[in-house]
Amino acid sequence: MRAIEPWVEPPLSAFLAESAARVTLLMTASGQVVAQHGFTRSLDVMAAAALGAGIVASTTELARIMGTASLGNASHQGAAMGIFLSPFDTPRGRWIALVVYGPETSLGLVQLFFGRMVADLAGAAPAAPKAGPVLAENFEAELNASLRSLFGR
């Protein structure tokens, strides 16, 4: 597991142990990766984050056009694995979870333990830092440090 913010690790670790999820990605609503587990290539992480954020944005916009509240989460079940995609609110803003699970668990268990993880993340989140300049002076160094943290390089 890799996480940009250390306070995310305990709730995510508990979720992974309880749900038996194979792959999990936590990201901001814009697709910025916060934590991941199970991906072996950085390209896969970035593609999954972009696609997951795009799906959530699309369903949110469809709900708005239809004049209804958010459509909530999405799940897809295949023969060998399933995918659970859900936006959720944290003290740090709106995040999205993408979870891939196999036959050793079920959508119901993933959803149950996902709810617990969301509550645990809300309790573990530190107060939001003061907003700084949009592009900090050391933007490139911070970006490289974040990428090294996520991908272990």
Q: Does residue 34 sit in helix, strand or coil? A: strand
Flag whether 131 is in a domain.
no
Flag whether 79 is in a domain.
yes
pLDDT tens per residue across span 57-116: 999 999 899 998 877 899 999 999 999 999 999 998 999 999 999 999 999 999 999 999
**Domains in the chain, number:** 1
Tokens, residue 50: 């972009």
Flag whether 132 is in a domain.
no
Flag whether 133 is in a domain.
no
Lowest-confidence segment of 12-16, 22-26, 70-74, 128-132 by average pLDDT: 128-132
Q: What does the angle CA 36 – CA 125 – CA 24 come to, to the nearest 5 degrees?
A: 15
Flag whether 138 is in a domain.
no
Contact 74, 52 (CB under 8 A): no
Reply yes or no on whether the pLDDT at 153 is more than 70. Answer: no
Please tell me the pTM assigned to this model. Answer: 0.81
Alpha helices in the chain (DSSP H): 9-19, 42-66, 107-124, 139-151
Contact 53, 96 (CB under 8 A): yes
Flag whether 109 is in a domain.
yes
Flag whether 136 is in a domain.
no
Tokens, residue 149: 């943290």
- 116 is in which domain, residue-wise? 2-126+144-151
Flag whether 78 is in a domain.
yes
pLDDT tens per residue across span 134-150: 666 777 788 777 777 77
Give the integer Cα–Cα distance in Å for 120 and 113.
10
CATH classification of the domain holding 53: 3.30.450.30
Give the pLDDT of residue 69. 81
pLDDT tens per residue across span 32-59: 999 999 988 877 999 999 999 999 999 9
